[in-house]
Structure formats: C-alpha cells, structure tokens
Chains A and B, each alone.
Chain A
C-alpha cells in the first residue's frame, strides 16, 4: 500500500459518461501530478499542481479536466472519453521542490467502452 490513495481502483465507462478519479495524500506534499500509462509504455505526464495551482498542462485534451480542491486532494474529471483513453491513470505527489522524488498511488485502471 502507498501513502497516495487513488479511487476507484478500476473504472469502466461509456464514451458519453461523466466520471471522476480521486487522489488523496496526507504527507504534506505541495505538488501533485496526474500521469497516464499505456501498457508496456512509461508514464506520461498530464498535469502538475503546485501549491494548489495548475502549473503544467501537457496539452491534454479538454475531455480531461483536473481539479485541486485543497493541498491533499486531486481530482481528474472525465467526460466524453475515447477508447484510446483506456489506460492506467497514476497520481503522484512530491514535497514541492523539483529535486524531490515523486511518490505514486496504486493507480486507476480505466476502460472506455
């Protein structure tokens, strides 16, 4: 088990559904991240929040909408996804500074029908 908690662990949704992925950490970390990982590929950065503000958006399609309600929580809102969006979605956190290592949650495995 990790100190970064992601829910749900698995999610199956249709292309017209709206759902949200949730991530929570209680390590006092001030930076939180969303990654997407396809099978046999490395994680790809999607978004970075630093001190609750969006600092990096890696040109992610608008059907993915991040939200950081407070320093411990990170959400990823999903709407009108495509089958190619099926992947493992990973949340990570770090103390804040660029040198600090990122710690990953267990991920949400998302399947789009």
Chain B
C-alpha cells in the first residue's frame, strides 16, 4: 500500500464549479498535511497546511482533515481556468520527511 494515495485524474470541472480533490494516507501517526499546486514545468507551490481534524478555509480553498479515516481533501470553490494544474497532497511521516502523493490533475474548462 502506498503511503499517500491520490486519484491521478484528470478531474474535469466547468468554470465556477467546486472541485473536490481527495487524498488518503497510511501512517496513522501522521500529524501534518499539506496541499501543493504544481503547474506544468514549474515547482510545487504551497496552498494549504492543516494539522487538526475539521475544515480550514483560505479564500476559495478549503482543506478538510479526518484523522480517524486517514483522509484529507481540498475543495476549490468558484474554480477558474487558472486553477488547472496538478495538486499534490503531502503528508509528514517522520520528523522532517514529507511524502507526496502522485498528484491529481485538475482541468477547469471555460
């Protein structure tokens, strides 16, 4: 079983819709969770970090964490074509070790 799993997509949504990206992880002791956005040919850019169960909102982005289910999600409201990118879920599995999922490619059509 992979440590961090994501659906590779692509996830296609129309402009203005809500995009829902999901991630599961295997290490029950994980405490820190991050979402990164990566445009093609560019480096990962931090979008959200979440450490406690529940929701965390930042602008159009909401991260959701459920440690009992070992599940993290990212919601993007009012999706824009500029949101089209690969979204990487990252989980801290050791003191400084970050493990990335394979990423979900999001396509937002005008």
> A residues engaging B (CB < 8 A)?
2, 31, 33, 41-45, 48, 50, 55-56, 88, 90, 94, 98-99, 101-107
Contacts and interface: CB of A to CB of B under 8 A. Distances in A.
B92 A43 contact: no
Q: Secondary structure at chain A's binding surface: helix, strand, loop or mixed? A: strand
Given A41-B102, A42-B88, A98-B32, A104 B43 contact: yes
Contacts, number: 56
A24 to B, nearest CB: 15
Contact of B96 (A55, A103, A106): A55
Interface of B: 31-32, 34, 36, 42-46, 49, 51, 88, 92, 94-103
Considering residues B44, B49, B96, B99, which has the most beta carbons from chain A within 10 angstroms of its beta carbon? B96
B34 A105 contact: no
Contact of A99 (B31, B44, B101, B103): B31
B49 A101 contact: yes
A98 B96 contact: yes
7 contacts: A42-B101, A44-B100, A90-B44, A99-B92, A104-B45, A104-B46, A107-B42
B84 to A, nearest CB: 16
Given A98-B92, A99-B32, A48 B44 contact: no
B51 A99 contact: yes
